[in-house]
Amino acid sequence: MFNRLIIGAAALSLAATMAFGAQGAKFYVGEGDKSKEFMSLVNDKISTIGFVLSDPHERINDAYKTKWGTEFKTVKGAQEKHPDFDPTFKETLDNLGFFSITNDSVVGPLLMKEPALGGFSPFNLHIYKKMGEDKTYVGHVDPETMLNIVGVKDADVRAKFVASFVPLDKMVGQEIGSKTQTVDYKALPAKPMMTFEVPFERGASLDAFISDFQGKFEAAFEAHKYIIAGYKDIKGSMTDNNIEFGRYDAYWVYSLCHFRFSEGIFNHGRPDAGAFAPCSMYMYVEKGSNKLMIGMPRLENWIAVMGINDPKMVDSIHALDKEITGIMTGLGAKEL
């Protein structure tokens, strides 16, 4: 169930330790199917207020149905049994979409002070519609909650980051519907972030190290059935837009998704938790440094912020946090 709560920004900044509630995510609710309006919003309109769309993933629910809900597939004109068919699969969603967006002009200068902001840069402007309900939900994790999870304390950074969401929320309300629903929470996990460092020999070419590490990283996660759902070269984007980013020699963000894990949550009654998907893992090398720094919000935040209490879902979230940490240490990363 969604609960509505309005509290001040000062209280929200204490989200990790407070005993009362804070807004974890906010959704605008439109009557009927608002998919056309949403696609127009992300493809044509959000750019007018500074947001950049990267790696859109529309109608994930169709991919779930194709992979697990389709018994036969056609190969060279012949019907074959689909190897992933799951007779227990049940369709519950008319729409589920992840649309990673960033306001580069705002985020670039803020990352110069707070590199961990990459944990939600980009973030997901999320859409979902349940079967049997003639309503469309569009929203995102609350920006104060994003800041609390990644550990940003700088007051100026917090104020500017939160302010950048005001025109976005106004536009979503105008295009989708002004009615809102919120998900509220009491406290974040004791350790909301996973962070790592990878020492390396600087040598003559940083590009060679980056290319080698990225290749091994992508192969390792794909071997564990993760999807590289997105990649954003933050350093390149800032350079292309003439935004000062001299603190870093390199900065990029991967978006990670484990398809079966996600279906087990979003298609099983908690599509709202998709506001946290896909997971953003940032990586950067500061100017002249010989260490690759890495960070990602733990999936345990989903339990705390979205109020997930289904035992199977909780177990799968803890298992993925453990698995991701294991993959990273297997790549030579030291957990901090």
Residue 100 has pLDDT above 90, yes or no: yes
Question: What does the CA dihedral 18, 21, 25, 30 come to, rounded to 10 degrees?
Answer: -170
pLDDT digits 0-9 by tens, 266-288: 999 999 999 999 999 999 999 99
Q: Given pLDDT bands bounded at 50, 70 and 90, which one contains residue 14? A: very low
Residue 102 has pLDDT above 50, yes or no: yes
Whether residue 297 has a cis bond before it, omega within 30° of 0: no
Average pLDDT over residues 209-224: 96
Residue-level pLDDT at 40: 97
Q: What percent of the chain has pLDDT over 70?
A: 94
φ, ψ dihedrals at 269, nearest 5°: 105, -5
Residue-level pLDDT at 5: 35
Residue-level pLDDT at 12: 38
Domain 9-335: give its CATH code. 3.30.310.70
Q: For residue 210, which of 96, 141, 290 has the smallest C-alpha distance?
A: 290
Give the mean pLDDT of the chain. Answer: 92
Instruction: Provide the b/e sequence for 43-64 (b: ≥16 CB within 10 Å).
Output: eeebeeebbbbbbebbebbeeb
pLDDT digits 0-9 by tens, 173-188: 999 999 999 999 999 9
Residue-level pLDDT at 7: 32
Residue-level pLDDT at 287: 95
Q: For residue 253, which of 147, 151, 104 has the smallest C-alpha distance?
A: 104
Residue-level pLDDT at 313: 98
pLDDT digits 0-9 by tens, 151-167: 999 999 999 999 999 99
Residue-level pLDDT at 8: 34
The residue with greater pLDDT, 214 or 78, is 214
Domain residues of the chain, as ranges? Answer: 9-335
Average pLDDT over residues 234-243: 95
